[in-house]
Amino acid sequence: MSDETPICSAKGCRTTAVWVLAWNNPKIHTPERRKTWLACEEHREHLAQFLGVRGMLKDVVPLEEWQAAEDTRG
Ligand SMILES: [Zn+2]
């Protein structure tokens, strides 16, 4: 377990992340694989759009919900 504050993945941004963007690049990842980016409120749309136009965006989930799901997975 880490108690580090999750920070937005956008370049140069130091804001606490509140969203998780789950993505998959079909050219290099198997279909069930999920990579994640963290995003603050401001950059969620920008990052989602970046992944979306490349057909790589799978899911956008509130960070709290994502972490709760990870906990139940053990
Ligand atoms: Zn940000």
Please indicate whether residue 69 or residue 38 has the higher confidence score (pLDDT): 38
> Could you report how far apart the first and last alpha carbons of the chain are, in Å?
12
Q: Which amino acid is at 30?
A: T
Distance 39 CA to ligand 1 centre (A): 5
pLDDT in tens, 3-46: 678 999 999 999 999 999 999 999 999 999 999 999 999 999 99
Distance 44 CA to ligand 1 centre (A): 7
What is the C-alpha to C-alpha distance for residues 20 and 37, in angstroms, rounded to an integer?
A: 6
Distance 20 CA to ligand 1 centre (A): 12
pLDDT(63) > 70: yes
What pLDDT does 3 receive? 63
Residues with CB under 5 A from ligand 1 (ion): 8, 10, 13, 15, 40, 43
Question: Which pTM was predicted?
Answer: 0.86
